[in-house]
């Protein structure tokens, strides 16, 4: 093959990528370099003269060394972050090399067709209606904006209001109801869409982390027929809890409310016959969102929105331009997406789904749940640890209370966080702290395709070691 100006920088990138990925089982999982170190290595005035491309790549790789969390490790548990499946990663490289603008069919025929096919596969695996429209967005945040823009269009159209023309000036307020555990990205989507937070009712969850049906009924009844959107959780970000769709969606329907389901990772339970029951009734919602970059293990960034009412979806987001052609028998992404020019995200999703197949997706989801349970139970058996939440799916919570008699709540919280810091400093595994029912806890989130039984063993051993050390240093009287 004739050499090109791309060979050297791409070969350098390949070398660094392979080195990085080969270090995953041995390198510390958490980043080691601090902000000052990274700034010192990477900053400096931008020179007047350019630098040869391969050297830029080498310098960048050297500069960020130690400043990357090994998110693609099987022992990275702090947040719901997947790794990149091999085919998805490779397809994502090609996406950059092909450099397609996935605006619509005319601008990139292959990107449009691949996205159309991958969207169909996703609906099948996620148990959503085949007739639903969809969008491949940057993540669940923009998928929420997409679904809730369709919702805003839908509920206001029913109230005789054309929101695309009139805006929200003088519109009837839209009441939003969710549990208090709705994700922060819902809050931001509502703000971006001009719906604000004043008309948003956040109902405390019950012991199982679910929105109580009677409270939903009451919240919807008290708005006297005003337009309403109900946001339900398929996988709470701390506990993985699912709202009871079978009980809640009929209540919302009786009140003519639009139901939007946040299934950032939980919607993937649909791929497994063992966990699918958690989503029973969710197919009756009006819009759903999930992520590719979490449990499907597609590289960042990748989120999906699905809408049962294509007219409301296209009514909210569709856009057509005089200088672009539109073909009637293909899907133009610009009718469904919040972006104009955009990355061809369909390639990586297509590749991930083909690499795994339906059985592979199912096995990956079940593995994540089993390993989350094994880690939470394993930690729960250690002296000085408590289980706060056994995983329903792939999310669990544990806590490390201060072992000293008479320790205050603040001391318990501080001890919990000190143990987490110790685990992370040792480098065998990586976790984050969170607040749970007013106290500090540690999240266990398993969403990486690589996590295996050996990772579980190494992780529990690392937590045991950190607990022993912390108690030796600070737990004087036990």
Ligand X SMILES: *Cc1c(COP(=O)(O)O)cnc(C)c1O
Instruction: Kindly tell me which of 156 and 234 has the beta carbon lying closer to ligand X.
Output: 234
- Report d(CA 371, CA 431) in Å as an integer: 15
Specify the DSSP class assigned to residue 452: -
Residue 135, H or E segment: strand 133-137
**Least distance to ligand X from the beta carbon of 185, Å?**
4
287 binds ligand X (CB under 6 A): no
141 binds ligand X (CB under 6 A): yes
- Report d(CA 260, CA 249) in Å as an integer: 10
Interface residue with ligand X among 72, 73, 133, 185 (CB under 6 A) is 185
Instruction: Kindly tell me which of 346 and 403 has the beta carbon lying closer to ligand X.
Output: 346
Only segment of 136-144, 153-161, 243-251, 275-283 that touches ligand X (CB under 6 A) = 136-144
Interface residue with ligand X among 13, 80, 314, 348 (CB under 6 A) is 80
181 binds ligand X (CB under 6 A): no
**Least distance to ligand X from the beta carbon of 134, Å?**
15
Interface residue with ligand X among 303, 368, 384, 401 (CB under 6 A) is 303
Site for ligand X in 357-386 (CB under 6 A): none
**Least distance to ligand X from the beta carbon of 26, Å?**
29
Instruction: Kindly tell me which of 80 and 230 has the beta carbon lying closer to ligand X.
Output: 80
57 binds ligand X (CB under 6 A): no
Interface residue with ligand X among 262, 332, 455, 470 (CB under 6 A) is 262
For 29-40, b where at least 16 C-beta lie within 10 A, e where not — what string? bbbebeeeebee
- Report d(CA 312, CA 293) in Å as an integer: 26
- Report d(CA 24, CA 1) in Å as an integer: 33
Only segment of 12-20, 66-74, 139-147, 413-421 that touches ligand X (CB under 6 A) = 139-147
Name the nearest CA neighbour of 276 among 120, 118, 444, 125.
Answer: 125
Phi/psi zone of residue 73: left (φ > 0), alpha (ψ -120 to 50 degrees), beta? beta
Interface residue with ligand X among 82, 83, 139, 378 (CB under 6 A) is 139
140 binds ligand X (CB under 6 A): yes
Residue 287, H or E segment: strand 287-291
Interface residue with ligand X among 103, 183, 255, 371 (CB under 6 A) is 183
**Least distance to ligand X from the beta carbon of 41, Å?**
28
- Residue 458 vs residues 75, 80, 225, 465: alpha-carbon distances, Å: 8, 20, 55, 11
In sequence order, what are the beta bridge partners of 234? 242
Instruction: Kindly tell me which of 140 and 305 has the beta carbon lying closer to ligand X.
Output: 140
Output the residue with the shortest Cβ distance to ligand X.
139
Instruction: Kindly tell me which of 144 and 313 has the beta carbon lying closer to ligand X.
Output: 144
Only segment of 134-142, 150-158, 377-385, 426-434 that touches ligand X (CB under 6 A) = 134-142
- Report d(CA 463, CA 385) in Å as an integer: 9
Q: In terms of DSSP H, where are the helices of 293-345?
A: 310-317
Only segment of 137-145, 251-259, 304-312, 384-392 that touches ligand X (CB under 6 A) = 137-145
Total residues in contact with ligand X, by rule CB under 6 A: 13
CB-count burial class (<10 Å; 0-12, 13-18, 19+) for 363? middle
**Least distance to ligand X from the beta carbon of 141, Å?**
3
- Residue 414 vs residues 65, 259, 351, 376, 407: alpha-carbon distances, Å: 30, 40, 44, 20, 10
- Report d(CA 470, CA 442) in Å as an integer: 15
Task: Decide if 287 contacts 260 (C-beta within 8 A).
Answer: yes
Interface residue with ligand X among 200, 265, 389, 431 (CB under 6 A) is 265
3-class secondary structure, 306: strand
- Report d(CA 199, CA 177) in Å as an integer: 8
Name the nearest CA neighbour of 97 among 16, 10, 18, 2.
Answer: 10
Only segment of 40-48, 262-270, 275-283, 333-341 that touches ligand X (CB under 6 A) = 262-270
- Report d(CA 145, CA 337) in Å as an integer: 10
Instruction: Kindly tell me which of 78 and 401 has the beta carbon lying closer to ligand X.
Output: 78
Instruction: Kindly tell me which of 267 and 471 has the beta carbon lying closer to ligand X.
Output: 267
Only segment of 9-17, 22-30, 135-143, 385-393 that touches ligand X (CB under 6 A) = 135-143
Q: Which residues of the chain form contacts with ligand X (CB under 6 A)?
A: 80, 139-141, 183, 185, 235, 237, 262, 264-265, 291, 303
């Amino acid at each position: 093959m004739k050499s090109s100006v791309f060979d050297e920088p791409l070969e350098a990138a390949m070398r660094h990528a392979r080195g990085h990925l080969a270090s995953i089982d041995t390198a510390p999982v958490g980043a080691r370099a601090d902000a000052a170190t990274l700034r010192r290595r990477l900053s400096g005035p931008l020179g007047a003269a350019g630098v040869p491309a391969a050297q830029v790549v080498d310098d960048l790789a050297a500069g960020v060394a130690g400043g990357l969390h090994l998110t693609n490790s099987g022992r990275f548990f702090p947040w719901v972050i997947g790794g990149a499946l091999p085919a998805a990663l490779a397809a994502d490289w090609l996406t950059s090399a092909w450099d397609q603008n996935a605006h619509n069919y005319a601008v990139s025929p292959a990107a449009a067709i691949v996205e159309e096919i991958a969207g169909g596969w996703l609906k099948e695996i996620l148990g959503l209606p085949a007739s639903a429209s969809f969008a491949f967005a940057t993540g669940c945040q923009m998928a929420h904006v997409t679904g809730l823009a369709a919702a805003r269009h839908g509920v206001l159209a029913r109230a005789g209001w054309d929101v695309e023309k009139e805006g929200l000036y003088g519109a009837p307020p839209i009441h939003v109801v969710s549990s208090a555990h709705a994700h922060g990205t819902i809050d931001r989507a509502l703000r971006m869409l001009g719906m604000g937070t004043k008309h948003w009712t956040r109902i405390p969850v019950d012991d199982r982390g679910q929105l109580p049906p009677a409270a939903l009924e009451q919240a919807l009844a008290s708005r006297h027929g005003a337009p309403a959107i109900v946001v339900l959780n398929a996988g709470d970000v701390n506990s993985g809890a699912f709202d009871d769709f079978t009980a809640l969606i009929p209540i919302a329907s009786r009140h003519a409310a639009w139901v939007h389901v946040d299934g950032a990772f939980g919607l993937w339970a649909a791929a497994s016959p063992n966990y699918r029951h958690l989503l029973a009734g969710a197919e009756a919602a009006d819009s759903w969102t999930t992520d590719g970059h979490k449990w499907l293990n597609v590289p960042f960034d990748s989120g999906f929105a699905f809408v049962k009412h294509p007219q409301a979806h296209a009514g909210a987001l569709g856009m057509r331009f005089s200088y672009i052609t539109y073909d009637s028998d293909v899907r133009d992404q610009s009718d469904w997406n919040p972006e104009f020019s955009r990355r061809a995200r369909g390639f990586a999703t297509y590749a991930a789904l083909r690499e795994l197949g339906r059985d592979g997706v199912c096995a990956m989801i079940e593995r994540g749940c089993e390993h989350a349970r094994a880690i939470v139970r394993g930690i729960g058996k250690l002296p000085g640890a408590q289980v706060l939440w056994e995983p329903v799916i792939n999310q669990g919570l544990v806590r490390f209370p201060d072992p000293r008699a008479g320790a205050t709540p603040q001391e318990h919280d501080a001890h919990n966080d000190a143990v987490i810091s110790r685990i992370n400093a040792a480098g065998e595994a990586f976790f984050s702290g969170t607040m749970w029912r007013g106290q500090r806890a540690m999240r266990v989130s398993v969403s990486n395709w690589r996590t295996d039984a050996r990772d579980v063993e190494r992780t529990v051993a690392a937590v045991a070691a950190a607990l022993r050390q912390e108690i030796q240093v600070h737990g004087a009287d036990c």
